[in-house]
Structures are given as structure tokens and as C-alpha cells.
Structure 1
Amino acid sequence: MKQALELTPDGHPDKPGRLSNLGNAYESQFSHLGELSDLESAIVAMKQAVELIPDGHANKPRMLNNLGIAYESQFDLLGELSDIESAIVVTKQAVELTPDGHADKPGWLSNLGTAYESRFGHLGELSDIESAIVAIKQAVQLIPDSHANKPRILNNLGNAYQSRFGHLWEISDIESAIVVMKQAVELTPDGHADKPGRLNNLGNAYQSRFSRLGELSDIESAIVANKQAVELTPDGHAGKPGWLNNLGIAYQSRFGHLGELSDIESAIVVMKQVVELTPNGHADKPLRLNNLGNAYESRFDHLGELSDIESAIVAMKQAVELTPDGHTDKPGWLNNLGIAYQYKSQFGHLGELSDIESAIAAMKQAVELTPDGHADKPAWLNNLGTGYESQFSHLGELSDIESAIMVMN
């Protein structure tokens, strides 16, 4: 392709098409190998193709859409705002150049919506998620139910509604998300590669509504959908650990609602599997270890077995150790670890001074890493104060009760 392009003079009518083909080939190679240089070469070739082809040409919208996808892939990889802004500009142009009756318009509207949603995730601007919903809704209205892409576009719309729900906490958004995600699942055949992911998204939406309304039927529906997602996914699949994690969270939520031991035991079984399937370098490993620790702690609260609080401490310590100091979740995980040590220090006649000291060390670090205006800082200071009180009860040192008073004030 490169040779064909080199032999094609600039004014030749086939030059844009050959540049576009070369860009698509580089993007395919990027999808296969994950090399940034291939994606960058794809963008260079696709940009050149778009610049050379007139607006009235039938292939221009497709070339613009492909360029937008490449920019969005580069944004996902590097997190550069300029890439997602470029994606929005060129995909919007693709949509504007395409008449409503055109078969490709719904797909391009959906891509525009997901680009807006990506920028919303980066900047948190409400206008972006609203633009995403408008574009994807239009895509859904333009595409017939029988079209192979309809479930994908419905799923994208559901994700956008769920994102806005997370921002505004409006019940209508999570209800809309559930309606369209159910439709996406129903239109997707069982053997389809994307069915587990769509079931997982539906389960998460039910979990979100449960967190808002506390209706038992929602957490039960979440478990059914999340479980089905896991069952349809082979062990080696990259998405399986995340889907197991969501199932574990659903079991833990139902345990919190009903107090059934079988639920927290199911949560621990699947969360252990999640941790085992997640490599140490993975960005989500600390979160998954923290979740496992919380599940062990919940069972400890229920049964009072020392082994559970010890298992919680092992998981939570590993979560903390794998998380850099600047990470926004580190203070919360340190606070959780401190609470677990404090529970252990209060267990029967085993109250070890070393556990109280470890609790204070973790809680102190949580407080130090948290800025003053943070919503959780008062609670973490209070926990640190109770840690000092425990140490005072153990040792009778006046300095500990003074430290408790100071941090609780």
C-alpha cells in the first residue's frame, strides 16, 4: 500500500482513497499489536486523506468517521484532551455530511455520542453527557431493530444514561438505562461475543438503581444478569475478572440488605477468583483486593471468626502496598485497613498492642494524604481519634488521649 501511494501523484483522484486504505491498515495493525506508532501513522494518513477529498465526495463522511475512531483510540491510550476534541470535531463533520436516510448515519451518530461521553469522563462537563445522549438517541431512532448494530447502539445509550445518573442522581436516568440495556440484551443472540458485556452492564444498572431505591428486586435482577455474564464468558477472557468483581459486589449488597450468610460467602468466593485472575500490574488490582478485604470484614462482623479479619488485613495491606501515594483511593483504603486492625485488636483476649499501633499508623497516613476540604476527612480523623483512645485504654499514656482530643476537634 505504501508503494502504491508513493507512485500516486498528489492531484490524482485515487490518492485520498489510497491514503485512507493505508490508514485503515495501520489501525488494524494497532488493534492487533497495540503499538502507538501504528496508531500515529494511521492518524497521519487518515488526516491527509480527509484534507485531499472534497466535502461533496460520497466517501468523505466514512473517512472522517474512521479518523474520529483513531483519535478516540489515541485518547484512550494517552488521555490527551486534544485527541478526544479532534475526535468530536471530525465525527460531528461526518454526521453533518450524511443524510438521515443513509445506512451509516446511526453508527456515526453513536460514535459521536461515545466521543462526547469520553470527554465527559475526562472533564465532567454535564453538556458533554447531554450531547452524548442526544446523538445516541438519534442513532437508535434511525436504526431498525433488525439491524446487527442496534444492540450495540442501545447499549451505548444505556451507558450514557448511567453516566448522567452518576452525575445528577436522577432516577429517570437509571430507569432509562435499564430499559435500553434490557432491549440491547434481548436483541443480542446467546452466542454473540458482546452478550456477556451487555449483561454485565445491565446488572450494573440494576445495582445502581438498588443503591438509589433499596428495592430487593433490583439487587436480585443484578445478580441474575451479572451471573449470566460470568457464565457466558470463558476463563481467559480479559473482561471476566471485572464481571466477576461486579457479581461479588452484588452478592455483598444483598448480604447487607438481608444478612444471609450464603451471600457474603458467595461474594468472597467470586472476589477471591477475581484477585487470582488479575495480575499485580493491573490498574484495578488494588480496588479488587480492597473489595475482597471488605467482604472478609463483613463476614467477620457476622460470625466473629478471627481468620476473617486476618484475611481482610492481608488483602487490604496488599491493596495499599500496590497503590501509589498520589492515588485518590489510597486514603480510603488505608482507613479501611486501619479499621480492620482495630477490629482485630478488640477481638476476645487477643488484643495486641501491635494491632492498635498498626491501626493508628494506617489511619494517620490516610489523614495525611487527604486534603482539608475532602468530604471524608472528618470521618477519618474521628477513626484516628478512636485508635488513640484504644491505645490509651491499653497503655494509660496521657499523650494518647491528648492526641485523640486533638484530632477529634
Structure 2
Amino acid sequence: MQPVNEFFRSLDTEDDIPCLTLPWKISTLRPDETHNQKPKECSVKGTEETANALNDHAFFFFLRFENTGELTDIREGISALQKPVQITSHDHVDYPRWVGNLALSYVRLFEHTGKLADIQEVIYNQRKTLQNATDDNPNVHAWLSNLGTALTRRFEFTGDLSDIKEAISTLNKVVHLTPDDHPDLPTRINSLGGCLLRRFKHNGDHSDIEEDVIALRKAVTLTPPGDPGLPSRLSNLGAWLSLFSRSTGNYADLEEAISIQRKAMQLTPRGHAALPFRLNNLARNPLSYAELPLSLTALANVLARGFKRTRDIKDIQKAISVSQTAIQRIPADHVLLPSMLSNVGKSFLCRFECTADIADIHEAVSALQKAIYLAPDCHATLPSWFNDLGNTYSLRFERTGVLSDITEAILAHLRSKITVF
């Protein structure tokens, strides 16, 4: 399952959406005042007045949840929001707003629980919101975007291809409905690209690669310089171009991928925090700078593939340097660290082929040993890493004649045979 906060990274929200009505009296509260305040009673007569009061009542719980993190608060808010949906006719002008608020509250709950049932509620309520919404509704873009993103997350839980197909169709509609000069168009194109990537991983259809490259190029072109989303969009485009080059055999695509990945790295300052899309505030809870090591790793992989094609030692030297920087910056318990260590070990071996410097073999052995040590016993690539380590020990034995290396090589190859799942 993807980390839950990735759901909010791609969730498309807009500043002008009336997600929850905030009464003037509550809006004057400081965050530290909300913890001890009590929700005001909802005793207003009349369906419309009652619905508005319940919406405001729910918002208080929502606001308190933001300050306490107590799931009981967000669940109380959801309970209150369900009532306006039940008592308001489907053709009422505010009905989409009530349902939209309910859906977004389930989104907030999902961020904390990661439960499939909460995503199901998001999808159900966003569909209800859209039933009576017209294309000229100022909020329809966000509702469609959130539906598309929720469908994508459900696909990641269930693997149901119909969900990703519907997500692509929904996000395509968002892009087509968004004016070319709209500031959120690049983000929406980027979200569509993410869906195409997931479908490609599922079915291997290379037409998705070409379609996504076109979409991501447009997203990058429309993103102004200095926009915080530009580095990640450049990184995505570079990764796709690298994949595209493997399907077409066009080295120009690979060269462009390298150039774009370098630019993404240059634009990502030390301590950079990508701005995830959060329900209440796009910039309120930024990602850690873990995004930078992943971008560096993607660049290193592109450089290593370029070296295999050109045999230009500058590429493999740069790949090693970039990989080492990524390893230094990634948390020690990160799930991708073993793979990153394995890759840098292979890069040292590639450089050894050019330089015959025994120090590179020593570095390769060290990196592969650490990758194996950090990997869980059930890691699918563990047999391959043991095999690589065995080959590296054998290569070092040929150069040094140290008997312990051939012993270690035999043991590693034996482990590669028995560590099969």
C-alpha cells in the first residue's frame, strides 16, 4: 500500500472551494481556543437552516480535530454532516456542497486511518456530489479531481483495472474542463500522468508512456519558474523519458531524460519541502525532504543506463556521486535504502571495468553487503543481491588471490539458491 500521505500529495483542492462553512464567530477563535470550546447546539427550525447549522456544527469538530488529532472529533463531524445530506433534496442548490463536505471529511479521516472503507465513502459521496453538478459549476474541477484520485487509491488497494480506467477518464475530463491559463492546470495534468503510470505498471501498454510524456511535457511547460511543483514535475518527466527511451531505443530521449533530471536536482534546494495537497491548507503540512533522495536516485539510474550505452566514464562517475548523495540523505530505515545500496554497488563494478581500480571492488562489496544486511528476509530481490555479491567476491579473488574471498563467494552463491520465495 502506498503511504497514506501520498493521497494528499496528488489530491487536487482549490483555495476558493467552500469546503465547510465557517461561521464568523468560530472563525475568530485562535487554534488554542478550539480544544476546550464546545460545539454550539443545533436547534434551528427549518430544513435549510438546520442543514446550515449542522454544517457549522460539523466544522467545529473538524477544526478541533485539526488541533487535537482525535479521531472521535472527525467522526463526530462526519456524523453531523450526514444529516444535511439526508434532509436536503437532491435538486437543492446546496446539496452538492453538503455531500462534497462529507466526502472531504472522509478524505481527512482516510489520511489518518488508511482504511479502504474510508476511500469507499469518498468515492460514494463524490459521485453523489457530481450527479447534479453542471460543468460550469466552479467546484466541479475539484470534485472530479478528488474522485479521480480516490479511484486511483482504491485501485492500489484492490488492483481492479476498472478503477484506474475510470480515474483516467475522470482526470481527463478535469484537464479538458480547465482553461489553459488556469494556475492549477499543470497540477491536474500531473495527476493524470500519475494515473497513466499506474496503468502502465499494471498492463505494460507502451501507448501509456507516450501519452504520459506528452501530458507531462505540457505540465512542465505551463509551470512558471519558481513554482514549488516544478522540480517534481521535471523529475517525473525525466523518469518517463528514460522509460520511453527503453521502449523506443532512441538515445536522444535518454539524453533529454538526463538533462531534465539534472535540472530537477538543481532546482531542489537542501531542506526542500514539496507542498502536498492537504484538505485544509495546501502548504500546512509539507513533505519532508525525503523527496530529494528519490529524485537523486532516479537521476543516478538514468546515468547508469546511459553509461551502459555510451561507455562514457563520466556518466558512471556521476551516477556514483549522485547515488552516494542520495544514500546520505535518505533515512536509515527507509524501505528503498537496500535497493539504492545495491545499485551503487553495481555502479562501482561498472567503473571498475573502465579503471581496474581495486578500490571500486572493495566499495562494491561493502555496498552489497549492507544492502543484504538491511533487506528483510522476504525481500524479492535478495537472491539476486546474493548472486551479485558472490560474483563480486569472485572478481576480487581473481585480482587479489585472497582465499577468504572465494569462500565468501561460494557462501553467497549458496545463499542465492536457498533464498528463493
Bin of the TM-score, shorter chain as denominator length: 0.7 to 0.9
Equivalence for 1:180: 170
1:312-351 matched pairs, under 5 angstroms: 312-347=319-354, 350-351=355-356
- In 2 relative to 1, CA 263–40 (structure 1 residues): closer, same or farther, beyond 3 Å? farther
> Separation in 2 of the partners of 1:211 and 1:252?
15
> Separation in 2 of the partners of 1:301 and 1:371?
30
The letter for the 1-side match of 2:206 is: L
Equivalence for 1:201: 191
- The match for 1:390 among 370, 390, 395 is 395
Runs of at least 4 residues off by over 6 Å: none
Q: TM-score, normalised by structure 1?
A: 0.82
Aligned-pair CA distance for 1:64: 4.3
Aligned-pair CA distance for 1:105: 3.7
1:21 aligns with 2:14: no
Equivalence for 1:14: none
1:57-76 matched pairs, under 5 angstroms: 57-64=50-57, 66-67=59-60, 70=63
The letter for the 2-side match of 1:333 is: M
Equivalence for 1:34: none
Which runs of 5 or more structure 2 residues have no equivalent in the other structure?
A: 1-21, 272-288, 416-421
- In 2 relative to 1, CA 336–150 (structure 1 residues): closer, same or farther, beyond 3 Å? same
> Separation in 2 of the partners of 1:102 and 1:127?
28
The letter for the 1-side match of 2:400 is: L
> Separation in 2 of the partners of 1:329 and 1:108?
41
Aligned-pair CA distance for 1:132: 2.3
Instruction: Verify the 8 A CA contact 1:309 1:344 in the aligned structure 2.
Output: yes
Equivalence for 2:370: 365
Q: Percent identity?
A: 31
> Separation in 2 of the partners of 1:388 and 1:64?
68
- In 2 relative to 1, CA 383–86 (structure 1 residues): closer, same or farther, beyond 3 Å? farther
> Separation in 2 of the partners of 1:144 and 1:261?
46
Aligned-pair CA distance for 1:334: 1.3
Aligned-pair CA distance for 1:151: 1.1
Q: Secondary structure of 2:35's partner? A: helix
The letter for the 2-side match of 1:21 is: W
Which runs of 5 or more structure 1 residues have no equivalent in the other structure?
A: 1-18, 27-37
Equivalence for 2:181: 191
Q: Secondary structure of 1:180's partner? A: helix
1:42-191 matched pairs, under 5 angstroms: 43-44=34-35, 48=38, 50-54=39-43, 57-64=50-57, 66-67=59-60, 70=63, 82-83=70-71, 86-98=73-85, 99=88, 100-117=90-107, 119-120=109-110, 123-191=113-181
Equivalence for 1:248: 238
Aligned-pair CA distance for 1:123: 4.7
Q: Secondary structure of 1:320's partner? A: helix
The letter for the 2-side match of 1:188 is: T
What whole-Å deviation, never above 9, does each CA across 1:184-208 have from its counterpart, x for those lacking one?
A: 1111112222111101111121222
- The match for 2:220 among 223, 226, 230 is 230
Q: Which one has a larger percent helix, Structure 1 or Structure 2?
A: 1
Q: Secondary structure of 2:378's partner? A: coil
Q: How many residues align?
A: 370
- In 2 relative to 1, CA 175–90 (structure 1 residues): closer, same or farther, beyond 3 Å? same
> Which structure ranks higher in relative contact order (CA pairs < 8 Å, sequence separation ≥ 6)?
2
Equivalence for 1:13: none
Equivalence for 1:276: 266
Instruction: Verify the 8 A CA contact 2:220 2:230 in the aligned structure 1.
Output: yes
Aligned-pair CA distance for 1:211: 2.1
> Separation in 2 of the partners of 1:221 and 1:65?
42
> What is the CA RMSD across the aligned residues, in angstroms?
2.6
